[in-house]
């Protein structure tokens, strides 16, 4: 096991982006609306919490797409905790992977288990079921 000591969350995310791109030789990154992953330029490209956090910093990293964060407790689409999150997998497969890029081009999907800094100021938790779905979806992206 290797350990990376950093001074901040954003440094950890910068390291994760570089490691994922270097190791996979892919450039696409998927993050969730509402996430706060840091304020340096790479991490800020994933951050999608408040537009003021990105304002006046110009074009950020390319290859980044954002998708809605599933939130079973107050699901905007009326899902229950059992079904919430399925629409994310559907969106990934039917929109992102079909229309934008193939899963083989994805270096990483960055997930906050708890979104604590979302613009709504409410803490939101990622449904356990969705994590399992994401693990299944991963097989599309994993090298054969
Ligand atoms: C999930 C997550 N990642 C990254 C960061 C960025 O951390 P820092 O402010 O230490 O750079 C935060 C900060 O709140 C965070 O909540």
What atom in ligand 1 is closest to the CA of residue 112? Answer: 1
66, 34 contact by CB (below 8 A): no
Instruction: Give the mean model confidence (pLDDT) for residues 106-112.
Output: 92
Q: Whose CA is nearest to atom 1 of ligand 1?
A: 37
pLDDT at 85: 77
3-class SS of residue 41: helix
- Whether the pLDDT of residue 128 is over 70: the answer is no
Domain ranges of the chain: 9-50+61-141
What atom in ligand 1 is closest to the CA of residue 8? Answer: 10
Mean pLDDT over each residue of the chain, to the nearest integer: 86
Residues with CB under 6 A from ligand 1: 8-10, 13, 36-38, 112, 116-117
**H or E segment at 43?**
helix 41-46
pLDDT at 65: 97
> pLDDT for 42-90, tens place per residue?
999 999 999 999 999 999 999 999 998 887 777 767 777 777 777 888 8
Fold of 9-50+61-141: 3.40.640
Q: Whose CA is nearest to atom 8 of ligand 1?
A: 9
């Amino acid at each position: 096991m290797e350990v990376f000591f950093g001074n901040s969350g954003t440094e950890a995310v910068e390291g994760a982006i570089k490691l994922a791109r270097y190791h996979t030789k892919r450039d696409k990154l998927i993050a969730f609306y509402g996430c706060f992953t840091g304020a340096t330029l790479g991490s800020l490209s994933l951050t999608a919490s408040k537009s003021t956090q990105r304002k006046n910093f110009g074009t950020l990293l390319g290859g980044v797409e954002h998708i809605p964060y599933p939130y079973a407790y107050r699901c905007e689409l009326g899902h229950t905790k059992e079904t919430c999150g399925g629409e994310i997998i559907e969106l990934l497969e039917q929109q992102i992977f079909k229309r934008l890029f193939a899963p083989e081009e994805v270096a990483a999907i960055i997930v906050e288990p708890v979104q604590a800094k979302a613009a709504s100021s409410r803490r939101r938790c990622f449904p356990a079921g969705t994590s399992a779905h994401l693990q299944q979806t991963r097989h599309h992206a994993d090298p054969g």
